[in-house]
Structure 1
Amino acid sequence: MKAPPFRYHRPSTIAEAVELLATLDNARAIAGGQSLMPMMNFRLVTPDDLIDLGGIEELVGLTEGKSALSIGAMTTQRRLERSEIVARQCPLITAALRHVGHQQTRNRGTIGGSLCHLDPGAELPVAAAALDAVLIAVGRSGERLIPFAEFSVGLLSNALSPGELLARIELPKAAPRTGVAFVEFNRRPADFAVVSVAASLALDAAGRIAQAAIAVGGSFEAPVRLGAFETACAGRRPEPALFDVASREAEAIECVGDDVYPAEYRRELAGVLVRRALDSALVDVETHADA
């Protein structure tokens, strides 16, 4: 099938795009188009007006601050994947991007498009959840900061208000002695994940856990953080028995299922992948500490 007729707009500034979104009744913004165009072709969404954000230069790029990276929402996934700054300062994003589709997909797909689409099987929302990313939305009234934990309002639905667009994403820099891992299970390489896990593990000088972050994706409408384990593990040594606790917490999270992958299967898989992710993150810490 092909998309139904629509009017095409290509603004050159954020202000122009916001004005279009605010004044057109049935408009959608398009970023990389990797998700929206197939949905339009299948008539799952039928906008009367399509607002192409590809001509807005101020939505593209990466700025390194003292404690965070600021990434324009229209920055492509491939550019971030190849960025030395991202690999050094926010390696969990680099690790997640290695699992996103094919290279051709990442050439067009954008970080903002993926986060706004919020597919449960997508990798970047899981990494953003683990990193406590902050999203900066822009509307007629100015900027609004949205913690990523508050960004999902349901399946494939985000907290942007009518007339708002995502302008940039703020990601904290990794602390010293931090290891990361991103693992997932899918039917075929480049498929959306059945379950995915993003993990970050920071150790203090004594080798104890200073901070841990674990997010599970694919199990529910939005990524789920293992908050109880993250709090309880602080000050503990990263030992197998402790990681087993995280695995059991993952096996108890709320899951949705289908005829192919029932909820019980996804919960068990979440437990397995959380253990693998923590083991890999610990190895990553030790590798960088020895470098």
Structure 2
Amino acid sequence: MYPRKFDYVAVGSVAEAVEALRATEGAKVMAGGMSLLPLMKMRLLSPTTVVDIGRVPGLDSIEDRGDHLAIGALVRHADTAANELVRTHAPALATAASLTGDVQVRNRGTTCGSLAHADLAADQTAAVLALGATLVAQGPSGTREIPADEFFVDTLTSALEPDEVLVEVRIPKGGTGSAYDKLGRRGGRSDYAVAGAAAWVERSNGTVTAARVALTGVGTKPTRARGVEEAIVGTDGSASAIEAAARRAVEGVTVLEDLYGSEEYKAHLAEVYVARALAAALG
């Protein structure tokens, strides 16, 4: 199927993109296009104007800023996956990026684009939640910082305003480790997640002192598994502690039945992949 008619604007700066979004109702930003264009082809989304930021300079880098990493809006999935800074300080995100889509998608699509798309079964959304990331948006009034916990509002709905551009995601350094794992829709780890989990942990003197765990593919949006976090903190991080914590994977989560599994099946998968992510993060 072909998209409906739309106007196309290639901008040279974020300020130009913001102005184009502000001036045109129904306009949408395109970075790599791997999330936007399929929806347009299926006519599930029909923007009046596509604002292409792909040529904007200065948005394609990953920077070490001391206490955090900054990943720009045009950094490709493949670059996020392969970058040594990300692999060292945010392995959950590196793994999630490496499992996003296929080779073509990973070499064209962007990490920030995937986050802005806010798909309920995407990979990197769970990773940034578990890592406690901050997303930076630029709009007519300047920039604002949005905690990852507040960014994913609902299915395909983020906290971005219609005239804002997601310009970078900031990943804090620190913690003992992080990890991501999933069951993909095509079996193994291929395609969108039927259920996936990301975990970040901090351990001191043999005790888990802090943890963040997030689910994707299970509910209406990427979400924190706070019951798991509560259960694992204060334990020794042993296999039995992980197993007990994972039993609370869908506590407070609205589990969705879909073509890929019943509520019971997805709840079971959530427990399995939370346990795997925690075990890998604790190393």
Q: TM-score range by the shorter chain?
A: over 0.9
Partner of 2:224: 225
1:163 corresponds to which letter in structure 2?
A: D
| Closer/same/farther in 2, CA of residues 67 and 241 from structure 1, 3 Å limit | same
Deviation for aligned residue 1:26: 2.2
Equivalent-residue separation in structure 2 for 1:99 and 1:232 (angstroms):
28
C-alpha contact 1:131 1:172 (8 A) present in aligned 2: yes
C-alpha contact 2:7 2:49 (8 A) present in aligned 1: yes
Residue 183 (structure 1) aligned with residue 160 (structure 2): no
Residue 92 (structure 1) aligned with residue 108 (structure 2): no
Report matched runs for 1:1-291 at 5 Å. 1-175=1-175, 178-188=176-186, 189-204=189-204, 206-252=205-251, 253-283=253-283
Q: Deviations over 1:156-210 (max 9, x none)?
A: 01111121111111111133xx232211012324310100011122221x22112
1:183 corresponds to which letter in structure 2?
A: D
2:156 corresponds to which letter in structure 1?
A: L
| Closer/same/farther in 2, CA of residues 135 and 260 from structure 1, 3 Å limit | closer
C-alpha contact 2:247 2:271 (8 A) present in aligned 1: yes
Equivalent-residue separation in structure 2 for 1:62 and 1:179 (angstroms):
20
Deviation for aligned residue 1:251: 4.3
| Closer/same/farther in 2, CA of residues 212 and 115 from structure 1, 3 Å limit | same
Equivalent-residue separation in structure 2 for 1:174 and 1:102 (angstroms):
30
The 10-residue stretch of structure 1 (120-129 or 257-266) with the greater mean CA deviation from structure 2:
257-266
Equivalent-residue separation in structure 2 for 1:91 and 1:259 (angstroms):
30
SS in 2 for 1:18: helix
**Structure 2 unaligned regions, length at least 5:** none
Equivalent-residue separation in structure 2 for 1:133 and 1:165 (angstroms):
17
Equivalent-residue separation in structure 1 for 2:167 and 2:30 (angstroms):
13
Deviation for aligned residue 1:233: 3.2
| Closer/same/farther in 2, CA of residues 119 and 85 from structure 1, 3 Å limit | same
C-alpha contact 1:226 1:246 (8 A) present in aligned 2: no
Deviation for aligned residue 1:110: 0.3
SS in 1 for 2:190: coil
The 10-residue stretch of structure 1 (9-18 or 213-222) with the greater mean CA deviation from structure 2:
213-222
C-alpha contact 1:13 1:58 (8 A) present in aligned 2: no
SS in 1 for 2:54: helix
C-alpha contact 1:14 1:58 (8 A) present in aligned 2: no
Equivalent-residue separation in structure 2 for 1:108 and 1:14 (angstroms):
20
* Larger Rg computed on CA atoms: 1
| Closer/same/farther in 2, CA of residues 113 and 272 from structure 1, 3 Å limit | same
Equivalent-residue separation in structure 1 for 2:162 and 2:281 (angstroms):
39
2:183 corresponds to which letter in structure 1?
A: F
Deviation for aligned residue 1:63: 1.6
2:239 corresponds to which letter in structure 1?
A: P
State, as a whole percentage, how many aligned pairs show the same letter: 36
SS in 1 for 2:193: coil
TM score, norm. by length of structure 2: 0.94
**Structure 1 unaligned regions, length at least 5:** 284-291
Q: RMSD of the alignment, in Å?
A: 1.5
Deviation for aligned residue 1:259: 4.6
TM score, norm. by length of structure 1: 0.91
Equivalent-residue separation in structure 2 for 1:217 and 1:269 (angstroms):
11
C-alpha contact 1:118 1:158 (8 A) present in aligned 2: yes
C-alpha contact 1:220 1:256 (8 A) present in aligned 2: yes
SS in 2 for 1:114: helix
Give the ranges of 4+ consecutive aligned residues of structure 1 lying more than 6 Å apart after TM superposition. none
C-alpha contact 1:22 1:163 (8 A) present in aligned 2: yes
